[in-house]
Amino acid sequence: MFFEKLFDYLDYIHQNRIFYYTKKFDLKILIDIGAHKGEFLGFLLKNKKFKQAYVFEPQEEPFNIIKKKYSKNSKVKLFKLALSDKIKTRNFYIGKLTGTSTFEKLNKKSKYLSFKQKLLNTKKTYEKKITVRTTSIDNFFKKKNLSKTLLKIDVEGHELKVLKGSKKKLKQIPYLLVENHFLDLYENTDRMNKEKFLNNNNFKILKKFVHPLLIFEDNLYVNTKLNKLNIF
């Protein structure tokens, strides 16, 4: 699919910018939530400082691609699992572009959604619905020290739920990389609540990386309780 190839190329440029910016930090652990096909993971593994990557992707096809690439890499631990705010079973909507699959219901009044459907030559808001069992970061990593960790969250509108399930462990995590959509793609827009949650947990924006398509950005946050750098 031409559009998917174009997006992959632009995403490569985008992820490369993030990698070179974060390369200077003293980080040992990557938690990659919504890893898709391992695009971000591939860059981060170039940084020799990283000792362990915990990689989460609930979709069958993307997970198998990651597994084929990295199952023999001792630094990478792969989990066909989704993260949220609690342990439960949820509906998961698989998009025609698997990178857009989500737990969130799409806003059918969204002009961007209408444009995307025309671009992809489909009238469907999603290709199929599956049920997925979720857990939380606080539960999964309750016995793991997450100092020197970069937590990357790319879950297509479900970011706030993942963050709420991380509240205890966020006290240990120095850096977050969180996707932020500009458009009204989802029914429940949580951008302001997400910023409020992060501010209340001592995270401030260090750097914004706007995607070349100008439809979303990845925001890098720093935990001000753990980092005394003069960055503001």
Asked whether residue 229 is assigned to any structural domain, the reply reads no
59 is a domain residue: yes
CA distance 53 to 143: 16
Q: Is the pLDDT of residue 105 over 60?
A: yes
Summarize pLDDT for 27-42 with one digit per residue, the tens. 999 999 999 999 899 9
- Does the pTM surpass 0.85? The reply is yes
Q: In the predicted model, what is the mean pLDDT of residues 173-201?
A: 83
Does position 3 have pLDDT exceeding 60, yes or no? no
User: Over 80: is that where the pLDDT of 188 sits?
Assistant: no
Report the CATH number that the domain containing residue 214 is assigned in CATH.
Answer: 3.40.50.150
pLDDT given for residue 231 in this prediction: 44
Question: Is 228 inside any structural domain?
Answer: no
Is 230 a member of any domain?
A: no
pLDDT of the residue at 228: 62
Find the domain containing 50 and state its range.
Answer: 2-223
**DSSP per residue, 37-94:** TTHHHHHHTT-TT--EEEEE---HHHHHHHHHHHTT-TTEEEE--EE-SSSEEEEEEE
Residue 225 is which amino acid?
A: K
Task: Provide the CB-side half-sphere exposure for 24 (13 A, CA).
Answer: 4
Domain count, the chain: 1
Higher confidence at residue 182 or residue 70?
Answer: 70
Kindly state whether residue 88 falls inside one of the protein's structural domains: yes
Q: How many CB atoms lie within 10 A of CB 225?
A: 12
54 belongs to a structural domain: yes
Q: How confident is the model at residue 2 (pLDDT cuts 50, 70, 90)?
A: low
**Domain annotation covers residue 200:** yes
Is 40 a member of any domain?
yes
Predicted confidence band of residue 232 (pLDDT cuts 50, 70, 90): very low
